[in-house]
Amino acid sequence: MDVLKREFIYLWYYITILLEQIFPYWLMGMVIGSVVSVFGKERIHRLFAGMQGKKWGIFGIIPACILGIASPLCMYGTIPIAASFSEKGMRQDWLAAFMMASILLNPQLIVYSAALGSVALIVRVVSCFLCGIAAGLLVRFFYREKPFFDFTGFGEAKSRDTDPNVVLRLLKNFGRNVKATGVYFLFGILLTAMFQRYVPTDAFVSLFGKNEGFGVLMAATLGVPLYACGGGTIPLLQEWLMDGMSMGSAASFMITGPATKITNLGAMKIVLGIKRFILYLLFVMVFSLITGLLINSFI
């Protein structure tokens, strides 16, 4: 009993320290995400829709990525929007860039990632942006004359932010965000506390150290089963980086995680079909590995 009590005290100590470090970023992310969703979401989507008919060609992929990152919607919210754009004739490469960037990053996740430090934040934003660019380019060059997406059955979803009172509308959106991410955030804190207590630092460094190409591969692979919510993985990533995880390995995890999150995979399987879905998975894994190795070469 004394042993269990002691272990509980140790874990509680780690949990309180982690909450002090991470909770302000999580809370700020919730607030900013709700503000963007309530006051900026429609404008972001109007800007993307306004690209229709512009003769920007390949360069339109760039603003499509930026708007995808700025969009606060999850993938199941993004697909109906993308479907409506597709019906109006939006280019497939622009749609691919918008959707890929939207999968990987959003305003809330940017705020969460600030807890990892400025270098990790920049790495995340730049690598996710470039991943969206790469997705758009590949669709442009290999699916120029044939369809890549199939949005059959999808229509634009009705907004849930409809309360006439602005304050109540914002509070309701904030409540939905907390409900959607709170459990994952607390689970991430608990998992990180257990990692700090029971996983030897030396063993972790030997696996994910800077000069270990295998570490990048392992981090990319771990992103598949471990990633459930962006806020929930921030405590883990913070601890891993402190214990010696290379920035390249962290970048690989931050790409494969959201891209292969189970809900996102389900959505992508619906709109891509099995063959293009497999291509999507291969693209994510290859891009994350190359990105991780390049980052380790320079950082």
Query: Which tens digits make up the pLDDT trace of 147-184?
Result: 888 877 665 566 677 778 888 888 888 888 888 778 87
pLDDT of residue 291: 94
Residue percentage of the chain with pLDDT more than 70: 86
Q: Give the pair of three-digit tokens for residue 132.
A: 């969206």
- Dump pLDDT digits (tens) for 89-103: 788 999 999 999 998
pLDDT tens column, 213-267: 667 777 777 666 566 566 677 888 888 888 788 899 889 988 988 888 877 777 7
